[in-house]
Amino acid sequence: MKSISKSLLALLVASILSAGLAAPAAAATPKKKPVASKKAVKPVARVVKKPARKLAKKPVAAAAVATAATAASAHDEGPLPKLASSAVAVIDQTTGDVLYEKNASAVVPIASITKLMTAMVALDAQPSLSELISIDKDDIDTLKGTHSRLAIGTRLTREEMLRLALMSSENRAASALSRHYPGGREAFVAAMNRKAHELGLTDTRFADPTGLTAENVSSARDLVKMVDAAHQYPLIREFSTSEEYQVAVRGRAQTFRNTNALVKNDGWTIGLSKTGYISEAGKCLVMQAWLNNKPTIIVLLDSWGKLTRIGDAQRIKRWIESVASSGATFRG
């Protein structure tokens, strides 16, 4: 009996001890979980939220800048024309604003664009335009061997020689004008360079009055100034834009035509025009024309294709009219 009582007592004590130890363990578990939960959540929240704010700002800002730049570009200019001429300048003649430039400071041969300066120097001397001057052997092109319909011995008025030099780019006519200048051709070329200096043409040099030599050089920016200066002469405006003119050569009527086909194009209003070509210069064209009802100077140098300079002029015209019709403005 005592043995049983001792056994029961041992079991009772073990049971009480077991229950006492288990209760604190169970009570400790809930206390630890909230603490662990708080410590785990806070760092995750910091890591996720801060980078999320940074990443959200950067793409939005970049997209806004890109959109604004695209809109500004489209509003300012629209798509720029793709031109084949190597050097280009397009200027608003009234304001002087640059509408388009490409290699505008490159100094290159200018071929018969030279004849605009030839005409200005010839007219500055205030000669008699009705005086007859002749073509002689000194006017033959021995440099390039170009052909001319003005035969040796042809006598025309100075005015007619000037018209043919500008309209048809007649080399012999330009040569004759320089020979009949006070002091002769040497004095004439000196006057050409002096005039260039007076006009502020820092990239421009002349060695002859025709442009047959590659030593006659300028830049598109300089030629803008030269075209503007030449446009101040009423006879240069008239003669350079004449469609055709007839003169008597050896007793027979000869019809000379403008080397720029655009002067007879109804879609153009041209106030001055001059073309040029030698192998070193490529095809060249300068014009004063009204584009979008504004006087505009166009200079196109070194176009190698037969119709490239005309095509470039047409592309410039379409571009300016397109920008204007869209309500955009040029950056200048």
From 86, 148, 168, 169, the catalytic residue: 169
pLDDT of residue 32: 40
Hunting for tokens 């006009």 — which residue is that? 199
**Cα–Cα distance, 329 to 323 (Å, whole number):** 7
Domains in the chain, number? 2
Same domain, 167 and 302: yes
Q: What is the pLDDT of residue 330?
A: 66
Q: How many CB atoms lie within 10 A of CB 292?
A: 14
Of the candidates 89, 111, 255, the residue with the CA atom closest to the CA atom of residue 169:
111
3-class DSSP state of 64: helix
| CATH number of the domain within which 141 lies | 3.40.710.10
Which tokens sit at 50? 């801060």
Specify the pLDDT at position 66: 32
Same domain as 110, residue 15: no
Looking at the fold, whether 16 and 100 belong to one and the same domain comes out as no
Calculate the alpha carbon distances from 248 to 32, 150, 160, 169, 212 in Å: 118, 10, 11, 17, 25
Query: Is 242 annotated in the active site?
Result: no
Pick from 76, 244, 59, 253: which is nearest to 156 by CA? 253
Close Cβ partners of 330 (under 8 Å, ≥ 6 residues apart): 76, 77, 92, 97, 99, 323
Burial 100-116 (b: 16+ CB within 10 A, else e): bbbebebebbbbbbbbb
Give me the average pLDDT of each 10-residue run along the chain (332 residues): 48 47 41 40 33 33 32 50 95 97 98 98 98 97 95 97 98 98 98 98 98 98 98 98 95 96 97 98 98 97 92 97 81 54
Question: Using an 8 Å Cβ cutoff, are 225 and 200 in contact?
Answer: yes
Please tell me whether residues 108 and 175 are part of one structural domain.
Answer: yes
> According to the model, what pLDDT value does residue 329 have?
66
What's residue 63's pLDDT? 34
CA atoms within 13 A on the CB side of 234: 0
* DSSP-assigned letter for residue 263: G
Does residue 88 share a domain with residue 27?
no
- The C-alpha atoms of residue 220 and residue 285 are separated, in whole angstroms, by 11
Residue 78 confidence (pLDDT) = 61
**Within a domain: 55:** no
107 part of a folded domain: yes
Strand partners for 295: 290
Q: Catalytic: 37? A: no
User: From the candidates 85, 86, 102, 112, which is the catalytic residue?
Assistant: 112
CB distance 305 to 84 below 8 Å: yes
> Are 133 and 1 part of one and the same domain?
no
pLDDT at 31: 41
What distance in Å separates the CA atoms of residue 174 and residue 116, rounded to the nearest whole number?
10
Side-chain-facing half-sphere of 271: CA atoms under 13 Å: 19
**Do the domain assignments include residue 171?**
yes
230 and 146 together in one domain: yes
Within a domain: 27: yes
Residue 223 maps to a domain: yes
DSSP 289-323: EEETTEEEEEEEEEE-STTHHHHHHHHHHHHHHHH
Q: Are residues 188 and 132 in the same domain?
A: yes
Expressed as residue numbers, the domain containing 172 is 84-325
What per-residue confidence (pLDDT) applies to 77? 52
Active-site residue identified among 86, 102, 115, 218: 115
